[in-house]
Protein backbone atom coordinates (compact mmCIF):
# COMPACT_ATOMS: atom_id res chain seq x y z
CA UNK A 1 0.00 0.00 0.00
CA UNK A 2 1.38 3.41 -0.88
CA UNK A 3 2.53 5.72 1.90
CA UNK A 4 -0.05 8.45 1.28
CA UNK A 5 -2.91 5.97 1.71
CA UNK A 6 -1.44 4.78 5.01
CA UNK A 7 -0.98 8.36 6.21
CA UNK A 8 -4.57 9.18 5.30
CA UNK A 9 -5.90 6.27 7.35
CA UNK A 10 -3.66 7.12 10.30
CA UNK A 11 -4.73 10.75 10.23
CA UNK A 12 -8.44 10.10 9.76
CA UNK A 13 -8.92 6.86 11.70
CA UNK A 14 -11.36 8.26 14.27
CA UNK A 15 -13.57 9.92 11.67
CA UNK A 16 -13.46 6.90 9.38
CA UNK A 17 -14.42 4.71 12.36
CA UNK A 18 -17.45 6.93 13.02
CA UNK A 19 -18.45 6.53 9.38
CA UNK A 20 -18.04 2.74 9.59
CA UNK A 21 -20.12 2.69 12.77
CA UNK A 22 -22.96 4.29 10.85
CA UNK A 23 -22.70 1.57 8.19
CA UNK A 24 -22.41 -1.20 10.78
CA UNK A 25 -20.62 -4.57 10.72
CA UNK A 26 -20.91 -6.94 7.75
CA UNK A 27 -23.04 -9.48 9.60
CA UNK A 28 -24.55 -11.06 6.48
CA UNK A 29 -21.15 -11.65 4.88
CA UNK A 30 -19.71 -13.05 8.10
CA UNK A 31 -22.63 -15.44 8.56
CA UNK A 32 -22.34 -16.57 4.95
CA UNK A 33 -18.68 -17.50 5.33
CA UNK A 34 -19.13 -19.34 8.62
CA UNK A 35 -22.02 -21.28 7.12
CA UNK A 36 -19.82 -22.24 4.16
CA UNK A 37 -16.91 -23.43 6.29
CA UNK A 38 -19.27 -25.15 8.75
CA UNK A 39 -16.58 -26.39 11.17
CA UNK A 40 -16.70 -25.25 14.80
CA UNK A 41 -14.33 -22.66 16.20
CA UNK A 42 -12.26 -22.02 13.04
CA UNK A 43 -8.94 -20.17 12.99
CA UNK A 44 -9.72 -16.77 11.45
CA UNK A 45 -7.48 -14.05 10.05
CA UNK A 46 -8.77 -10.62 9.03
CA UNK A 47 -6.73 -8.52 6.62
CA UNK A 48 -7.46 -4.85 7.24
CA UNK A 49 -9.26 -5.03 10.58
CA UNK A 50 -9.89 -1.26 10.68
CA UNK A 51 -11.27 -0.29 14.10
CA UNK A 52 -12.47 -3.81 14.91
CA UNK A 53 -16.09 -3.37 13.81
CA UNK A 54 -16.21 -6.74 12.01
CA UNK A 55 -13.92 -8.46 14.52
CA UNK A 56 -16.55 -7.91 17.17
CA UNK A 57 -19.00 -10.02 15.15
CA UNK A 58 -16.44 -12.60 14.01
CA UNK A 59 -15.32 -13.23 17.60
CA UNK A 60 -18.87 -14.25 18.51
CA UNK A 61 -18.30 -17.29 16.27
CA UNK A 62 -14.72 -18.30 17.10
CA UNK A 63 -12.13 -18.12 19.85
CA UNK A 64 -9.29 -18.08 17.30
CA UNK A 65 -9.11 -14.66 15.68
CA UNK A 66 -6.19 -12.50 14.56
CA UNK A 67 -6.66 -9.18 12.82
CA UNK A 68 -4.09 -6.85 11.35
CA UNK A 69 -4.02 -3.47 9.67
CA UNK A 70 -1.30 -1.32 8.20
CA UNK A 71 -2.72 1.70 10.04
CA UNK A 72 -1.41 1.94 13.60
CA UNK A 73 -4.26 4.34 14.39
CA UNK A 74 -6.89 1.79 13.35
CA UNK A 75 -5.18 -0.94 15.37
CA UNK A 76 -5.12 1.33 18.43
CA UNK A 77 -8.88 1.87 18.09
CA UNK A 78 -9.48 -1.86 17.63
CA UNK A 79 -7.43 -2.69 20.76
CA UNK A 80 -9.37 -0.09 22.72
CA UNK A 81 -12.68 -1.57 21.60
CA UNK A 82 -11.66 -5.23 22.06
CA UNK A 83 -8.65 -5.35 24.40
CA UNK A 84 -8.75 -9.15 24.72
CA UNK A 85 -8.43 -9.71 20.95
CA UNK A 86 -5.18 -10.19 19.01
CA UNK A 87 -4.69 -7.16 16.74
CA UNK A 88 -1.40 -6.40 15.00
CA UNK A 89 0.11 -3.62 12.90
CA UNK A 90 1.27 -5.25 9.66
CA UNK A 91 1.44 -4.74 5.91
CA UNK A 92 -0.36 -7.39 3.85
CA UNK A 93 2.32 -7.11 1.18
CA UNK A 94 4.93 -8.51 3.57
CA UNK A 95 2.76 -10.34 6.10
CA UNK A 96 3.86 -13.91 6.79
CA UNK A 97 0.89 -16.27 6.75
CA UNK A 98 2.67 -18.60 9.14
CA UNK A 99 0.05 -20.46 11.14
CA UNK A 100 -2.62 -22.70 9.63
CA UNK A 101 -5.77 -20.65 9.11
CA UNK A 102 -9.28 -21.77 8.15
CA UNK A 103 -10.91 -18.49 7.13
CA UNK A 104 -9.41 -15.26 5.82
CA UNK A 105 -11.52 -12.13 5.55
CA UNK A 106 -10.35 -9.22 3.39
CA UNK A 107 -13.14 -6.67 3.58
CA UNK A 108 -12.33 -3.66 1.37
CA UNK A 109 -8.60 -3.99 2.01
CA UNK A 110 -7.06 -5.60 -1.07
CA UNK A 111 -8.54 -2.84 -3.22
CA UNK A 112 -5.44 -0.85 -2.29
CA UNK A 113 -3.05 -3.25 -4.07
CA UNK A 114 -2.38 -3.82 -7.76
CA UNK A 115 -3.18 -7.07 -9.53
CA UNK A 116 0.26 -8.66 -9.33
CA UNK A 117 0.55 -7.88 -5.63
CA UNK A 118 -2.96 -9.27 -5.15
CA UNK A 119 -1.89 -12.46 -6.95
CA UNK A 120 1.13 -12.89 -4.67
CA UNK A 121 -0.97 -12.34 -1.54
CA UNK A 122 -3.40 -15.04 -2.65
CA UNK A 123 -0.52 -17.36 -3.43
CA UNK A 124 1.12 -16.89 -0.02
CA UNK A 125 -2.20 -17.21 1.80
CA UNK A 126 -2.96 -20.43 -0.09
CA UNK A 127 0.02 -22.15 1.54
CA UNK A 128 -1.27 -21.41 5.04
CA UNK A 129 -4.95 -22.10 4.44
CA UNK A 130 -6.24 -25.40 5.77
CA UNK A 131 -7.84 -27.91 3.42
CA UNK A 132 -11.11 -26.37 2.16
CA UNK A 133 -10.10 -23.08 3.79
CA UNK A 134 -12.05 -19.97 2.78
CA UNK A 135 -10.75 -16.62 1.53
CA UNK A 136 -13.48 -13.95 1.48
CA UNK A 137 -12.82 -10.82 -0.57
CA UNK A 138 -14.70 -7.58 -1.20
CA UNK A 139 -13.35 -5.00 -3.66
CA UNK A 140 -14.68 -2.02 -5.54
CA UNK A 141 -16.16 -3.12 -8.85
CA UNK A 142 -14.84 -1.58 -12.05
CA UNK A 143 -12.46 -1.95 -14.95
CA UNK A 144 -8.94 -2.68 -13.81
CA UNK A 145 -6.40 0.01 -14.60
CA UNK A 146 -3.66 1.90 -12.82
CA UNK A 147 -4.37 3.00 -9.29
CA UNK A 148 -6.95 5.76 -9.01
CA UNK A 149 -6.17 8.44 -6.45
CA UNK A 150 -9.20 9.66 -4.51
CA UNK A 151 -8.97 12.69 -2.22
CA UNK A 152 -11.12 13.57 0.78
CA UNK A 153 -10.81 15.81 3.83
CA UNK A 154 -8.14 13.54 5.35
CA UNK A 155 -5.88 13.13 2.33
CA UNK A 156 -5.29 10.82 -0.61
CA UNK A 157 -5.99 7.11 -1.04
CA UNK A 158 -5.13 4.92 -4.02
CA UNK A 159 -7.71 2.36 -5.18
CA UNK A 160 -7.63 -0.43 -7.73
CA UNK A 161 -10.92 -1.58 -9.22
CA UNK A 162 -11.59 -5.21 -10.08
CA UNK A 163 -14.08 -7.27 -12.05
CA UNK A 164 -14.89 -10.94 -11.60
CA UNK A 165 -12.56 -11.98 -14.44
CA UNK A 166 -9.61 -10.24 -12.77
CA UNK A 167 -10.05 -12.24 -9.58
CA UNK A 168 -10.61 -15.44 -11.54
CA UNK A 169 -7.33 -14.81 -13.38
CA UNK A 170 -5.20 -14.41 -10.24
CA UNK A 171 -6.88 -16.95 -7.93
CA UNK A 172 -4.65 -19.93 -8.79
CA UNK A 173 -5.35 -22.92 -6.55
CA UNK A 174 -8.75 -21.65 -5.49
CA UNK A 175 -12.29 -22.56 -6.46
CA UNK A 176 -14.68 -19.63 -6.74
CA UNK A 177 -17.76 -20.87 -4.94
CA UNK A 178 -19.78 -17.67 -4.85
CA UNK A 179 -19.66 -14.19 -6.29
CA UNK A 180 -22.11 -11.34 -6.31
CA UNK A 181 -22.29 -7.65 -7.08
CA UNK A 182 -23.89 -5.12 -4.77
CA UNK A 183 -24.15 -1.35 -4.77
CA UNK A 184 -23.69 0.30 -1.39
CA UNK A 185 -24.57 3.98 -1.51
CA UNK A 186 -23.21 5.01 -4.90
CA UNK A 187 -20.38 2.47 -4.96
CA UNK A 188 -20.62 -0.88 -6.77
CA UNK A 189 -18.85 -3.74 -4.95
CA UNK A 190 -17.77 -7.23 -5.86
CA UNK A 191 -17.96 -9.97 -3.21
CA UNK A 192 -16.22 -13.29 -3.81
CA UNK A 193 -15.80 -16.46 -1.75
CA UNK A 194 -12.73 -18.50 -2.67
CA UNK A 195 -12.12 -22.02 -1.38
CA UNK A 196 -8.74 -23.70 -1.37
CA UNK A 197 -8.81 -26.53 -3.89
CA UNK A 198 -7.89 -30.04 -2.82
Tell me the fold of 3-196: Rossmann fold (3.40.50)
pLDDT tens string 15-29: 988 887 777 899 999
What pLDDT is attached to residue 152? 87
Domain ranges within the chain, ordered by starting residue: 3-196
Q: Helix, strand, or coil here: 14?
A: helix
What's the CA angle centered on 90, arms 51 and 164, to 5 degrees?
Answer: 80
Which of 96, 46, 107, 52 lies closest to 75, judged by CA?
52
pLDDT tens string 163-196: 999 999 999 999 999 999 998 878 899 999 999 9
- Say how far apart CA 162 and CA 144 lie, in whole Å: 5
User: Mean pLDDT over all residues of the chain?
Assistant: 94
What percentage of the chain has pLDDT greater than the value 70? Answer: 100
Burial class (CB in 10 A: 0-12, 13-18, 19+), 66: middle
Query: What is this structure's pTM?
Result: 0.95
What residues have CB less than 8 Å from 19, skipping those under 6 apart?
none
What pLDDT is attached to residue 80? 97
43-64 exposure pattern, b = at least 16 Cβ within 10 A, e = fewer: bbbbbbbbbbbbbebbbebbee
pLDDT tens string 61-83: 999 999 999 999 999 999 999 99
pLDDT tens string 137-151: 999 999 998 899 999
Amino acid sequence: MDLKTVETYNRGAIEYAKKFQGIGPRIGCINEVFAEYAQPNPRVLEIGCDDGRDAEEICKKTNHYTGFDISKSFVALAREKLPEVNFQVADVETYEFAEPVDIIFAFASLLHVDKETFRQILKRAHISLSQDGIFYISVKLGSYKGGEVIKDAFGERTFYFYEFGDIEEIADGYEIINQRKLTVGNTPWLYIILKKQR
